Structure 1
Amino acid sequence: MLLETSYGNPWINIAVFAFFVVATMAVVIVVSRQKTKATDFYTGGAKFSGRQNGLAITGDYLSAAAFLGVTGAIALYGYDGFLYSVGFFVALLLALYLVAEPMRNTGKYTMADVLSFRMEQKPVRTAAATSTLVISLLYLLAQMAGAGGLVALLLGVTDPAMQGVVIALVGVLMVGYVLIGGMKGTTWVQMIKAVLLVSGAGVMTFLVLMGDAFNLNQLALSAQEAASNELLRPMEQYGTSIWTKLSFVSLSIALILGPSGLPHVLMRFYTVPTAKEARRSAVWAIILVGVFFLFTLVLGLGAAKLVGQETIMAAPGKQNSAAPLLALELGGEIFMGVISGVAFATILAVVAGLTITASASFAHDVYNSILKDGKADPAQEVKVARVTSVVVGVLAILGGILANGQNIAFLISLAFAVAASANLPSILYTLYWKRFTTRGSVWSIYTGLISATLLIIFSPAISGAPSAMLGEGVDFAFFPLTNPALVSVPLAFLAGYIGTVTSRSTGNDEFATEMEVRSMTGAGAGEAISH
C-alpha cells in the first residue's frame, strides 16, 4: 500500500524510479548488441578508455553505503561517521596502486586466474572462487538492505512484507541488467550512475553550504547545536571500553584493507586495453571518489542540522534515510525523487557489478577451469554464468530481506573484513613473494574466510546487542568485537606464511618471474585479455 507521508509524494518517486530503470535498461540493450564474442561477457571487450573506466570504477566503488550509509553515519555520529569516508578513500588508493593495476597487468579475467597463475590450478581456483562468491553475497546483502530502506521511505511502505517485495524487485532488475548486457552493459550503467551520483551530491552540497555562507566551520557548529550528542568529539560513538576501542581499530583495518580484496572492484581493470589506460582509470577514480567523500561530510552535517537526528531515526530506513530527507528539505518532493532515483540507480549498478563478478567466478573458475579442465565451450560457459546470476540474485534477495533496516555502511564494513582476510593476504603474497606456494595460498584464503565469517556470526553485530541484526533478545555472541579484521587478517597472513614455509614445493621460479614482469609492466596483458 502506498501512503501519502511526510517524506514526499510516492507517485512522484515511482515516476522517477521508472524513468531511471527504463533509461538505464535501454542503454544496456543498445550496447549489448555490439557484443561479438563470449569473453565480452566478462571484460566488455577490453575496449573502454581510461576516463570511461575511471567513471565505471567510481560507479562500482560508490555504493549505497557511500551515499546513504556514510551520510547517515555522519549525521548521527559526526566525526566518527566521517571516518568511514576517510577509510573508504584511503582504501581506494591502496587498492588501485598496490593490487588492482598489477593484477590487471597479468592479463587474466578473474582473481582466481591471478592467484593460480603459478600454483596448482584446482585447489587455488576452488578456494578463490569460494571466497569471491561469499564476499559478493555479503556485499549484496548491504545493497539489498539499502534498497529496502530507501524504497520504504519513498513509497511510504511500512509493512515489512511489502519491503521484502521491493527487495525482490531490485533483485529481478539486477539480474536483468547482467543477463542482457554482461560486463559491457553493466559498465555503461556504472558510468552513468557515477556522473549522476557525483553531480547530485555536488548540487546538494552547494545548497547546504549556501545556507551557511559557504562556511564549513559554521555548518559544523550549527549541526552540533541541533544534535543531541557530541558530533565533533572523536570516539563519541565507540565509548571508553577497551572492547569498543578495539572494535574501532578492527573497523579501521577492515575499511583500509577491504577494498583491495573486493573481486568486483579488481575486475573493473580488465575492461581497459593497456596498462596506461589502467593508470588513467585510477587517476579519474581517485579524483571523483575523493571529491564525493568530501561532499558526504557536508551532506551529513547538513542532515544533522536541517533534518534532525530524531527525524532520521524515526523514518523508514533510519540512518540510511538521511540523504533523501535532506534532499526533501533542500528542494522539495521532486528534488527528493530525483536524488532518490540516483540512489536507486546506485544500488542497481553496484549489485549488477557484484552479480557479474560472482557469476564470472563460478562459470570461469569452477565450471570451466575445474570441472571442464579449461576446455569448456565459451558459449556454454557464458550460459552457466547467466544461470549463476539468477541463483546469486535469489540468494541476495533472501539475505537482503533478513538484513533490511541495518546500517548499510556497517554491513559493508563486515564484507570488507571478509575480503581483507580471505583475499588480500594471498593476493599480496602472490604478487610480491616468489617463494609463495599453493599450500600457502589455500591455507591463507580458507583461514581468512572461515575465521572472519565465524567471528562475525558470533559477534555483537549479529546477536546480543541492541543494534545487532537479530536484536538483543537473541544472544549467542562470544567474540567481543563488532568487526573481526583485527584477528582474522593477521591469522590469514600467518596461515599463508606457515603454509608456504612448511610446503615441500618451492614454487615455480619461471612462472614467478613471468608474473613479476607482467604485473610490473603490463607486457602482454592487453593481448591476453582481449583473446
Structure 2
Amino acid sequence: MTVAVGSAFHAASPTASHAAVSYTAQAGGHRALTISLFVAFVLVTLYITFWASRQTRTATDFYAAGRSFSGVQNGIAIAGDYMSAASFLGIAGLIALFGYDGFLYSIGFLVAWLVALLLVAELMRNSGRFTMADVLAFRMRQRPVRTAAGVSTIVVSIFYLLAQMVGAGSLVALLLGVKGAIAQNIVIVAVGALMIFYVTVGGMKGTTWVQIVKAVLLMAGTTLVTLLVLVKFDFNVSALLSTAAEQSGKGAAYLEPGLKYGATATSKLDFLSLALALVLGTAGLPHILIRFYTVPNAKAARKSVVWAIGIIGTFYLMTLALGFGAAALVGSKAIAASNKAGNTAAPLLAEAVGGGAGSTGGAVLLAVISAVAFATILAVVAGLTLASSSSFAHDLYANVIRKGQASEADEVRAARIAAFVIGAISIVLSIFAQKLNVAFLVALAFAVAASANLPTILYSLFWKRFNTTGAVWSIYGGLISSVVLVIFSPVVSGGKTPLISGADFHWFPLENPGIVSIPLGFLCGWLGTVLSKDRSSEEKYAELEVRALTGVGAH
C-alpha cells in the first residue's frame, strides 16, 4: 500500500514530548473534571448495588439474579462483561503499535462467539443451575469433578482479573498524572475493593445492571471517538490507514502481516497458539457461562447471544478506528512513551480528537473516555469475582466440603467470604503484572479456559462414554499444562517484559501455550475415559441430553 500523508494530518501528530504535555494539562485545572466523572460513575454503581441488595434473598437471586433478565438485557450485560479492558485499552494499543497484527486480537475475540453460540450457550443454560460444574458433574461422581471445575474456574478468573486491574492502574495513572509504583498500586487496591463490594452486596443482579450501564456507556463513548476520528479524515479510511502507517515509523510494513508475528517460525507458532486460545477460550470462560443462567428460558438464552454478537461485533470493528486513529493522530512514539504496552492509546486518542493536550475539549473527552474505561474495568472484575466466588461456594463449599448439606444462607455467606479472598489474591498478583499488555494477559486466561474447561464441557455434552476419570484428567491436564507452560515461558522470565526481571529459566519458546495445552486437555480427557474402568450411566446421559435440548428438569 502506498503511504501518502496530507499536511493537515501532520499537525495532529504529536511527538513523545507531547505526551508529557498531556500529563501536565491533566495535573492542572482539568483534574477536577476527571475526578468528578469517576466519582459520579462510582456513586451510580453503588446506588445500583444497594438497590439490588434489597432484592437478593435466595441463592438463586445471588447466583442467577432470580433468572429475571430478558434476552435483550442479558445480551447487553454479556457484551458488557466481555468487552473488557483488554478490548478497549489493550487492543487499541496493540493496533496502534503493531498495525495489522494488533487487529488479529479483535478477530479472534469476535470469531470466538460463534463457537460459544453454536456449541455451548443454549445447552449449558438448559442443563445447569448456577455454575459450569452443575453440567460437568451431573452424570459423574460429584466431589472430584466439582473440585476440579471449581479450581479451574478460580484460576481462569484470576488470570482475567489481572488484566483488568493492570489496565486500571495504567488508566488512572495517565488520567490523574500520578507517577510511581506506589500510586498505581493504590489504584489497583481501590479497584479491588470496589469489585469486592459489588459482588458481596449486590450479587448477580447488581453486577448485571452495572454491566448493562457500562456496555451502554462504552458503546456510546467508542462510537463518539470513532466518528470524530473519521471526521478528521473526511471519512476516508484509506487516508486514515496511510497516515497511521507513516506516523507509526514503520511505513508500509505497519499495514501488512508480520510486524509482531511472522518474523520467525517461533512467532508464527505463537500467533497460531494465540488464535486457538482466543477462538476456543470464550466457550470455556466461567464468567460468560454463568450469564446464561440469568434468563428464564432457552429462547431468551439464544436471544442473549444474538444481541451480544451484534454489540460485540460492532465494537470490535470500531477498534480499527481507535487503534489506527491513535497511531495517526497521537503517534506510536507518544503512545509508547506514555505506556510501553500501549494501554493508554484510546484515552490519548480521545484527547487528540477533542482538541489536543491542554484544550478544554481534549480534557473533557479524555476524562469521559477514561471514565468509561474505568467503568469497563469495574464491571468486568465484578463479573469475574462473582463467577469465581460462586464456584467456590456452590461447588467446593456446598457440594465438596459440606457434601450437599449446606443451607442457601450458608452458600451465599461462603460466596461473599470467597469474594474477599479472591479479590485480595488478585490485587497482590496485579501489582507484579503491571508491565504486561492487558490484551496479552487476557489471552493467557483464554488459553487456560480453552485447555481445561472446553474439552470437558464438550465431552460431557456430546460423548456418552465420558466418565468421572476422564472429566478430572481433562480439567487438570489442560489446567496444569497451560499454567506450567506459562510459568516456563518468556512471559515470566527471559522475555522482553517478563514478570520476573533479572532471571531466565524459560524453556518453552511460545508466549501463549494454547497450541500445546488445548490438544493436551482433549487428549487427557480421552485417555482418562478409555483407560478407566468407570462406566457412566446411560440413563444419566439420556437425562442430560433431554435437559440440554429442552431445559426440562434443570431448574
Matched, 1:139 2:160: yes
Q: Does the Cα contact within 8 Å between 1:324 and 1:336 map onto a contact in 2? A: yes
1:72 aligns to what? Answer: 93
**The one of 496, 505, 511 aligned to 2:540:** 511
My pick for the range that moved more, 48-57 or 37-46, is 37-46
Partner Cα separation in structure 2 for residue 108 and residue 496 of structure 1: 24
Alignment of 1:118-129 (within 5 A): 118-129=139-150
For residues 294 and 107 of structure 1, do their structure 2 counterparts lie closer, same or farther at Cα, with a shift above 3 Å needed?
A: same
1:198 aligns to what? Answer: 219
2:314 aligns to what? Answer: 291
2:13 aligns to what? Answer: none
1:170 aligns to what? Answer: 191
Partner Cα separation in structure 2 for residue 406 and residue 13 of structure 1: 25
Q: List per-residue Cα deviations over 1:66-116 (Å, max 9, x = no partner).
A: 100000011111110000000000002211331122111103210111100
Give the 4+ runs in structure 1 shifted more than 3 A. Answer: none
Partner Cα separation in structure 1 for residue 82 and residue 513 of structure 2: 22
Partner Cα separation in structure 2 for residue 274 and residue 509 of structure 1: 26
Deviation at 1:317, TM superposition (A): 6.6
Deviation at 1:316, TM superposition (A): 4.2
Q: List per-residue Cα deviations over 1:346-382 (Å, max 9, x = no partner).
A: 0000000000111100110011001111120111110
Deviation at 1:7, TM superposition (A): 6.0
Alignment of 1:269-308 (within 5 A): 269-308=292-331
Partner Cα separation in structure 2 for residue 447 and residue 53 of structure 1: 33
Partner Cα separation in structure 1 for residue 454 and residue 335 of structure 2: 36
My pick for the range that moved more, 27-36 or 139-148, is 27-36
1:321 aligns to what? Answer: 344
**The one of 420, 423, 427 aligned to 2:450:** 420
2:138 aligns to what? Answer: 117
Q: Does the Cα contact within 8 Å between 2:121 and 2:305 map onto a contact in 1? A: no
Q: List per-residue Cα deviations over 1:214-243 (Å, max 9, x = no partner).
A: 122221111112111222111221242211
1:52 aligns to what? Answer: 73
Q: Does the Cα contact within 8 Å between 1:11 and 1:155 map onto a contact in 2? A: no
**The one of 232, 254, 263 aligned to 1:211:** 232
Q: Does the Cα contact within 8 Å between 1:158 and 1:316 map onto a contact in 2? A: no
Question: AA paired with 1:259?
Answer: T
For residues 403 and 397 of structure 1, do their structure 2 counterparts lie closer, same or farther at Cα, with a shift above 3 Å needed?
A: same
Question: AA paired with 2:207?
Answer: T
Q: Does the Cα contact within 8 Å between 2:290 and 2:387 map onto a contact in 1? A: yes
Superposition RMSD in Å:
1.3
1:450 aligns to what? Answer: 480
Partner Cα separation in structure 2 for residue 510 and residue 456 of structure 1: 40
Partner Cα separation in structure 1 for residue 403 and residue 450 of structure 2: 29
For residues 53 and 352 of structure 1, do their structure 2 counterparts lie closer, same or farther at Cα, with a shift above 3 Å needed?
A: same
Deviation at 1:440, TM superposition (A): 0.5
2:8 aligns to what? Answer: none
Question: AA paired with 1:487?
Answer: V
Partner Cα separation in structure 1 for residue 335 and residue 211 of structure 2: 28
For residues 274 and 317 of structure 1, do their structure 2 counterparts lie closer, same or farther at Cα, with a shift above 3 Å needed?
A: farther
**Count of matched residue positions in the alignment of Structure 1 and Structure 2:** 523
TM-score (norm 2): 0.92
Matched, 1:234 2:234: no
Partner Cα separation in structure 1 for residue 284 and residue 174 of structure 2: 33
Q: Does the Cα contact within 8 Å between 1:153 and 1:321 map onto a contact in 2? A: yes
My pick for the range that moved more, 285-294 or 328-337, is 328-337
Q: Does the Cα contact within 8 Å between 1:7 and 1:328 map onto a contact in 2? A: no
Q: Does the Cα contact within 8 Å between 1:152 and 1:317 map onto a contact in 2? A: no
Matched, 1:41 2:62: yes
2:428 aligns to what? Answer: 398
> Match of 1:163, SS?
helix
Deviation at 1:505, TM superposition (A): 2.1
Matched, 1:494 2:523: yes
Partner Cα separation in structure 2 for residue 112 and residue 136 of structure 1: 15
1:268 aligns to what? Answer: 291
> Match of 1:475, SS?
coil
TM-score (norm 1): 0.97
Q: Does the Cα contact within 8 Å between 2:393 and 2:415 map onto a contact in 1? A: yes
> Match of 1:510, SS?
helix
> Match of 1:237, SS?
coil
Partner Cα separation in structure 2 for residue 447 and residue 197 of structure 1: 37
Deviation at 1:13, TM superposition (A): 1.5
Partner Cα separation in structure 1 for residue 23 and residue 343 of structure 2: 17
Matched, 1:86 2:107: yes
Q: Does the Cα contact within 8 Å between 1:518 and 1:524 map onto a contact in 2? A: yes
Partner Cα separation in structure 1 for residue 291 and residue 412 of structure 2: 18
Q: List per-residue Cα deviations over 1:173-214 (Å, max 9, x = no partner).
A: 110111110000000000010011011101111110111111
Question: AA paired with 2:288?
Answer: V
1:251 aligns to what? Answer: 274
2:23 aligns to what? Answer: 5
Question: AA paired with 1:29?
Answer: F
Q: Does the Cα contact within 8 Å between 1:107 and 1:524 map onto a contact in 2? A: no
Q: Does the Cα contact within 8 Å between 2:248 and 2:333 map onto a contact in 1? A: no
2:464 aligns to what? Answer: 434
Partner Cα separation in structure 2 for residue 298 and residue 442 of structure 1: 44
> Match of 1:320, SS?
coil
Q: Does the Cα contact within 8 Å between 2:196 and 2:420 map onto a contact in 1? A: yes
